[in-house]
Chain A
Amino acid sequence: MLLLGFGGIWKLQHRIDGQRAALYQEKNDLVLRSGPMLKLMSLEYAPLVADLYWTRAVQYYGDKHRRGDADIQLLWPLLDIATTLDPKLIVAYRFGSTFLSESPPRGAGRADLAVELINRGIHANPEYWRFYEDLGFLYYFHFKDFAKASAAFLEGSNRPGAYIWMKVLAARVLEGGETRETSAFLWNEVYNSATNPDIKQNALTHLQLLRADSDCEQLTAIAAEYEKRAGKRAGSVRDLVNAGVLKSAPLDPVGFVYVFDGEGKAQLNPASPLSQQKPRYLKPL
């Protein structure tokens, strides 16, 4: 009887779930948006509540990211509350700034808020040098403000435990502005330090696009040289291989052969997954 009863409950619940899914409307809202008020109400449990808000921010972002929904308006209030409740919650500042700064649909496209969040992190944890790295990163990639980026790297390099390359980076950014090498160095640093798979994958895609960009530049130059000598334009990479200019057809980082456009410029193969990713990412140099 019991088994039969629970079997019936199981079937009924499935039916109810189906009906509820059809009626489902997203109800994402925050009843309380004031971090200081929540801190008072949390009594001594503010650090635990901060963890819950951070987890909610991660789930909220992950859910939106999975569904390709670019409307991430609640992300900032969630991060604001989490970091107000626990100003030492380093992870919320660092990952939060990534979620905020990346362009939609991978993030909120609010690099200004990301800078604000990192500055708050610096205010609460002035000795943590990685925040300066993140700040420099934001100024470098999102605002192209190389003076501020360089200043952030330099400021961070004076903090305890900072890596020596922060000083080098400060000088390089100030002198050369945005270069492929500097961008690759920064993304490589993100890739190596990230523990979250999504952020690691994001950095890897950026690195792959930078490498593809470099390959295309070289291929275009080789094709131009070939056109000058042979008197005809290479229609494909295979033409360059057949002519003995290249030993083999170079592949992009995910294994697809590059192609040439009508003007003889090398570009990613439209069949390559990187080609679809490119417009959604920051435009590499």
Chain B
Amino acid sequence: MSRVGVVAWNTFREAVRDRVLYNLVFFALLMMAAAILVGQISIGIEQIVIVTLGLSAISVIGSLIAVFIGVGLVSKEMDKRTLYALLAKPVRRWEFLLGKFGGLLLTLAVNTAAMAAGLFAALAYVKHPLVRSDAVVLVAVYFVLLKLALVVALALLFSCYTTPLLAILFTAGLYVSGMFVTEMRGFHSEAMSPALQTFLRWLSYLLPNFENFDVMGRAAHGEAIPGSLVLANTAYAAVYCVILLTAAAAIFSKRNLK
């Protein structure tokens, strides 16, 4: 196994040993159960609620894990002084970062898969049998995972040069900003100078666009998502993660760890 793989696997094992993860999965399954009850007190939206509540739970819980564990990936190793022992071995700093990223992403993938299984179980409970169009929910889950990969990369970048608390704030701030990219791009005001408008427009392309991954409405109504969008979003997340991880590696490589 490569050095990156070893770090990733150990990060995954450490996360699995962390009881917080189990609690969050349990919470997600509870949300699925709640979805069934919510469906009973409304009219005609049983399946829609299962999908929207399920996807929301997957997104919220995944984001919490991504942010809170993501910002601790480096700082925890430094606090426990295990980082020094690790870097004394033939492991480059960028390999360590990439391994940490991969490990948390693997954790999130397993977590998301478990929650998606719960979502489909709940969906099958209220709507049997499942039909082909329900596969769109899987695409929505995949998009949530892509979004989480971006969040982990952001958290990792900030954790390389600032405190965990600030890293959480910066990551959360960029996440929320990334949900308003369209508004930012289309915002026009007479009071605003053309230079500022141009700046906002450029900024809207620089910020991670989390709106790209928002297909919850389509998934809830069983509307197909084009394969080209799946490919484009995958490429977007991959390229953005590469940029963020490269920046993180550059910062971490120059950081004085003494």
Chain A residues within CB distance 8 Å of chain B: 40, 43-48, 50-51, 54-55, 58-59, 86, 88-89, 91, 95, 195-196
B residues near A55, Cβ cutoff 8 Å: 38, 41-42, 45, 49
- Assess whether B233 is interfacial by the CB under 8 Å rule: no
Shortest Cβ gap from A94 to chain B (Å): 8
Q: Is the CB of B41 within 8 A of A46?
A: no
Q: Which of the candidate stretches B72-80, B124-132, B157-165, B215-223 sits at the interface with the other chain?
A: B215-223
Shortest Cβ gap from A194 to chain B (Å): 10
A residues near B205, Cβ cutoff 8 Å: none
Interface residues on B, range: 20 to 34
* Residue contacts A-B, CB under 8 angstroms, 7 given: A40-B183, A44-B214, A45-B56, A51-B42, A51-B53, A58-B43, A196-B43
A residues near B41, Cβ cutoff 8 Å: 55, 58-59
Decide if the interface of chain B is mainly helix, strand, loop or mixed: helix
For B54, give the chain A residue with the smallest CB separation. Answer: A48
Assembled-state Cα–Cα distance A40/B183 (Å): 9
B residues near A47, Cβ cutoff 8 Å: 48, 52, 216-217, 220
A residues near B113, Cβ cutoff 8 Å: none
Interface-centre pick from B42, B211, B214 (highest chain A CB count, 10 A)? B42
Q: Is the CB of A44 within 8 A of B210?
A: yes
Assembled-state Cα–Cα distance A40/B187 (Å): 14
User: Of B44, B210, B216, which contacts A45 at CB under 8 A?
Assistant: B216
Q: Is the CB of B220 within 8 A of A95?
A: no
For B214, give the chain A residue with the smallest CB separation. Answer: A44
Assembled-state Cα–Cα distance A91/B43 (Å): 8
Q: A48-B216, A86-B217 are in contact. Are A54 and B42 (CB under 8 A)?
A: yes
Q: Is the CB of A44 within 8 A of B38?
A: no
Assembled-state Cα–Cα distance A50/B214 (Å): 15
Query: Contacts A44-B59, A54-B42, A196-B43 given; 8 further ones with Cβ under 8 A?
Result: A44-B179, A48-B49, A51-B38, A51-B42, A51-B48, A54-B43, A55-B42, A91-B44
User: Of A40, A46, A88, A195, which contacts B44 at CB under 8 A?
Assistant: A195
Chain B residues within CB distance 8 Å of chain A: 38, 41-45, 48-49, 52-53, 55-56, 59, 176, 179-180, 183, 210-211, 213-214, 216-217, 220-221, 223
User: Of A40, A44, A89, which contacts B45 at CB under 8 A?
Assistant: A89
Shortest Cβ gap from A70 to chain B (Å): 21
For A125, give the chain B residue with the smallest CB separation. Answer: B221
B residues near A44, Cβ cutoff 8 Å: 59, 179, 210-211, 213-214, 216
User: Of B52, B176, B179, B214, which contacts A51 at CB under 8 A?
Assistant: B52
Interface-centre pick from A44, A45, A59, A88 (highest chain B CB count, 10 A)? A44
For A87, give the chain B residue with the smallest CB separation. Answer: B217
Q: Is the CB of B38 within 8 A of A46?
A: no
B residues near A48, Cβ cutoff 8 Å: 49, 52-53, 55-56, 216
Q: A43-B179, A45-B56 are in contact. Are A88 and B217 (CB under 8 A)?
A: yes
A residues near B59, Cβ cutoff 8 Å: 44-45
For A197, give the chain B residue with the smallest CB separation. Answer: B43
For B144, give the chain A residue with the smallest CB separation. Answer: A44
Q: Is the CB of A196 within 8 A of B216?
A: no
For A48, give the chain B residue with the smallest CB separation. Answer: B52
B residues near A54, Cβ cutoff 8 Å: 42-43, 45
Q: Is the CB of A89 within 8 A of B180?
A: no
Assembled-state Cα–Cα distance A44/B53 (Å): 12
Assembled-state Cα–Cα distance A43/B220 (Å): 16
Q: Is the CB of A95 within 8 A of B43?
A: yes
Assembled-state Cα–Cα distance A46/B59 (Å): 13
A residues near B179, Cβ cutoff 8 Å: 43-44
For A95, give the chain B residue with the smallest CB separation. Answer: B43
B residues near A89, Cβ cutoff 8 Å: 45, 48
Shortest Cβ gap from B36 to chain A (Å): 13
B residues near A50, Cβ cutoff 8 Å: 52
Assembled-state Cα–Cα distance A50/B43 (Å): 13
A residues near B43, Cβ cutoff 8 Å: 54, 58, 91, 95, 195-196
Assembled-state Cα–Cα distance A55/B55 (Å): 18
B residues near A46, Cβ cutoff 8 Å: 216-217
For A86, give the chain B residue with the smallest CB separation. Answer: B217
For B143, give the chain A residue with the smallest CB separation. Answer: A44
Assembled-state Cα–Cα distance A86/B220 (Å): 10
Shortest Cβ gap from B30 to chain A (Å): 16
Assembled-state Cα–Cα distance A217/B59 (Å): 63
The 6 lowest CB-CB distance pairs between A and B, nearest first, are A91-B44, A55-B42, A48-B52, A44-B214, A47-B217, A47-B52
B residues near A59, Cβ cutoff 8 Å: 41
A residues near B217, Cβ cutoff 8 Å: 46-47, 86, 88
Assembled-state Cα–Cα distance A46/B210 (Å): 14
Q: Is the CB of B176 within 8 A of A43?
A: yes
A residues near B52, Cβ cutoff 8 Å: 45, 47-48, 50-51
For A91, give the chain B residue with the smallest CB separation. Answer: B44
